[in-house]
Structure 1
Amino acid sequence: MAFSINSKSAREKLKPRREPYWSRIRAGFFVGYRRSEEGEGTWIARLRSDEGKQVYHALGTFSGYDDAVKAATLWASALDAGVSPKGMTVKQACEHYVEHLALHKGAASERDAEGRFKRLVYDAKLGKIDLSKLRTSDVTAWLSAQVVQDEDDAEDEEDLRRAKDSANRNLASLKAALNHAMHNRLVATDAGWKTVAKFKDVGRRRDAFLPAAQRNALLDACPEDLRRLVKAMLLTGARPGELANASIQHFDREQGTLALEGKTGYRVVTLSTAAVAFFSECTKDRIGNGALLLPDFNERWNKDLWKKPFKAAAAGAKLPPTAVMYSLRHTAISEMIAGGMDSFVVARLAGTSTAMIDAHYGHLRHDKTRARLDAVAIL
């Protein structure tokens, strides 16, 4: 018995059943409609292959017959072009790419890609999506989720830049895996990911070193409360968020130390004599759990409070446009390394790794060593 599925009214008269109601598009090619007990029904395509086998493909839900036929036709065209009818999820495409890297690129490339996919794809919602159903919005949402959305959670602009730079590298690995799948005809089009754009202008650290004259000009241009925060960063090399979270009780005047807690956990840092004198003045006649550094009209500093005033002060001091709050931390660490301090000690004081110190400040240490070598009369 023939049933019509071309119109909504005709489909509503059909009895729910597991077997779809089929409509012939051309010889060997059909689109079917499966009526459900409740809600919208679903569409499915059926094609007889050159080998005489029936190949099926779930199309999902559509409001009209013509839309379902269009989707089915695109699927059939892809099969005719040699695309695999089996389908593949994003996770499977990534696993397939990792195997390719192991064979053609080497163990290092394999480990790098697999590490990224294990962290961000395999167990994620994105990984479960079929390549043929992947949408630009899916990849865009995945990319955005890797970046701190609430700027209050980022201790400084450098944190946000690094997060975006890392997300860009992850996107490049994902696109490479998906392009590899398309090259191997596992999916018909790259429309789901081709136009997803990476974050711009985040690939290079904005390391603005401030020489002494610029530091003094900045301090002179700051209002009193911001001047204290800027000076504290220059004296310690700490992150602004760490200093904002510090309380009076975290400063030990007798020991000359300051306890800090931030993105790398808890640490106690040794202070210079100048820093001890500075924090002693900041905490004079103050005790308890109050903020170590007090902004005007507020109990604690936060990024919203220091961002605009710092920008205004930097402009007033005629600093380069690359100068941001993080530049103070970079400047302090640079001076420590240039002053001959061991990178391990600097890493502990700054709350970072020796690898990061060597990667970004190693040239200063080499310059210092070269100057000492040049002073030795060998030949």
Structure 2
Amino acid sequence: MAENITSKSAREKLAARKEPYWSRLEAGLYLGYRRAEQGQGTWIARRRDEAGKQKYHALGTFAEFDDAARAANRWAQAVDAGVSTHGMTITQVCAHYVTDLRTRKGSKSANDAKGRFRRLVDSASIGKLDVAKLKTSHVRAWIAAQVEMDEADAEDEDDLRRAKDSANRNLASLKAALNLALRDRLVATDAGWKTVGKFASVGRRREDFLNAEHRKALLAACPSDLANLVKAMLLTGARPGELARVRALDFDKTLGTVALDGKTGRRVVTLSTAAATFFADLSSSRIGNAPLLATEYGQQWNKDSWKKLFKQAVQDAELPPTTVMYTLRHVAITELINAGMDSFLVAKLAGTSTAMIDKHYGRAKHDETRAKLDAVAIL
């Protein structure tokens, strides 16, 4: 005799066993409940296909019979629509997308996506999830973890903006893989990711710029130790964290170079005469591993020690409140581009790529090129 599993009280009276207790939902479709020795029981759906073969699908835990029945019906409808009944993990879905991308767009795009998924999906908890069980909360947590990871190394607000911009690109790749799975009927619905949106206003080119008068006002408003760090950024275009880590022995007075260690690895950059003279003055009272650009207490700078001081200096100098330490790097690179320096050389000095230079400073390059073209009398 069939046991009643429609009410919670009835289910609690059932004997624990491996074989589920079944309830017929419609012709060929059954909902089963597996009573556990301890804890909550689990639900399973059973369906007979056109060939007469029984198919099973684990539904998980539900407090109410009606909720489990709806899940069983959704599964049956997905099967009827041609959705694969073989579960795929998010990692497998991403691999499926990489294969498709290689066919449609070539190895470069496929390898970029493959590397992105390897770093952020394959070894993460989201990668092990069955795509049919993916929830919006899973995707949101995955995105938040990326920003939190980069936030630990962020040096200012611009770093956080760029971290969110990077997370947006990663989300776009994941959603592209999931959407392909939907089109290929590997999953029945896009409800788990469709409503997850990207961070707004984080991919824009930086517009902040400080002219010569602004820079002088800022330096005058800074305490002497912070002024040295600000001046070093303007003279080199380096990242604030890179300059904070410079030791006395990293400066070569003879060659006029300084070794910087940052997010793109260690590099040795040539200094202008003004920068070399400035660094030489600083090194006269520093030796060995001592920080070349130190706080008034002789300690190495970090974002916590400069953030409030810099914000106060910006306010005292009456500069835009959006001015942050990274603005100084933007100013320096812009001036180098405006002076006609080659993008490759600027990228090498700044520790970035020519693609990033073109993306963020392309307008300055075109204006400088246009001025040279206009100087040539052709007609």
| TMscore range, shorter length | 0.7 to 0.9
CA contact 1:148–1:160 (8 Å) conserved in 2: no
Q: CA deviation at 1:321?
A: 4.3
**Pairwise CA distance, 1:65:** 4.1
Alignment check: 8 A CA contact 1:20 1:33 kept: yes
What does 1:128-143 correspond to in 2, within 5 Å? 128-143=128-143
Shift of 1:249: 2.4
Residue 239 (structure 2) pairs with residue 204 (structure 1): no
Residue aligning to 1:342: 342
Partner of 1:331: 331
Contact 2:139 2:193 in 1 (8 A): yes
Deviations 1:90-142 (A, max 9, x none): 34444454555566x54376565555445433554323322221111111122
Cα offsets for 1:279-321 (capped at 9, x unmatched): 2333443334222122235712111222232223223323234
Judge conservation of contact 1:233–1:329 (CA < 8 Å) in 2: yes
Which residue is equivalent to 2:188? 188
CA distance in 2, matches of 1:178, 1:337: 41
Aligned to 2:246: 246
Change (3 A) 1:333 1:89: same
CA deviation map 1:235-275 (0-9, x unaligned)? 11111001111122222333322221111111222222222
Mapped to 2, the partners of 1:7 and 1:376 lie a distance apart of 87
Q: Kindly indicate whether the alpha-carbon contact (under 8 Å) linking 1:152 and 1:302 is maintained by their aligned counterparts in 2.
A: no
Q: Give the distance between the partners of 1:100 and 1:260, measured in 2 at CA.
A: 41
**Equivalent pairs, count:** 377
> Which amino acid counterpart does residue 344 of structure 1 have in structure 2?
F
> Are the counterparts in 2 of residues 248 and 287 from structure 1 also a CA contact under 8 Å?
yes
2:308 maps to 1:308 = yes
Structure 1 distance, partners of 2:100, 2:370, is 45
Q: 1:307 to 1:68 in 2, by over 3 A?
A: same
Work out whether residues 235 and 332 of structure 1, in 8 Å CA contact, stay in contact via their aligned partners in 2.
Answer: yes
- Deviation, 1:229, is 1.1
Note the 1:7-22 alignment, pairs <5 A.
7=8, 10-11=11-12, 13-17=14-18, 19-22=19-22
Residues 241 and 262 of structure 2 are in contact (CA less than 8 Å); yes or no, is this contact kept in structure 1? yes
Q: State the match for 1:294 in structure 2.
A: 294
Alignment deviations for residues 199-220 of structure 1 (CA, whole Å, 9 cap, x no partner): 1210113242222111112112
1:158 touches 1:205 (CA, 8 Å); kept in 2? no
C-alpha distance in structure 2 between counterparts of 1:241 and 1:196, whole Å: 33
One-letter amino acid matched to 1:14: A
Q: Which residue of 2 aligns with 1:217?
A: 217
Q: For residues 222 and 16 of structure 1, do their structure 2 counterparts lie closer, same or farther at Cα, with a shift above 3 Å needed?
A: same
- Please say if residues 269 and 349 of structure 1, whose CA atoms lie closer than 8 Å, have aligned partners that are also in contact: yes
* Per-residue deviation, 1:327: 1.5
Is structure 2 residue 44 aligned with structure 1 residue 44? Answer: yes
Match of residue 270 from structure 2: 270
1:225 corresponds to which letter in structure 2?
D
Code of the residue aligned with 1:306 in structure 2: it is W
Moved more, 7-16 or 347-356: 7-16
- Aligned-partner Cα distance in 2 for 1:267–1:119: 25
The answer for the alignment partner of 1:127 in structure 2 is 127
Corresponding residue SS for 1:145: helix
TM, length-normalised to structure 2: 0.85
| 2:149 counterpart SS class | coil
Q: Are 1:207 and 1:327, in contact at CA under 8 Å, matched by a contact in 2?
A: no
Bigger drift between 40-49 and 163-172 goes to 40-49
Deviates more, 1:132-141 or 1:251-260: 251-260
Q: Do the aligned partners of 1:4 and 1:11 also contact (CA within 8 Å) in 2? A: no
Unaligned runs of 5+ residues in structure 1 are none
Q: Is the 8 A contact 1:148 1:154 kept in 2?
A: no
8 Å contact kept, 1:249–1:288: yes
- The amino acid of 2:178's aligned partner reads L
Residues in 1 aligned to 2:79 and 2:342: alpha-carbon distance in whole angstroms: 63
Residue deviations 1:40-82 (CA, integer Å, cap 9, x gap): 4422111234554433210112345454334324434544566
SS at match of 1:340: coil
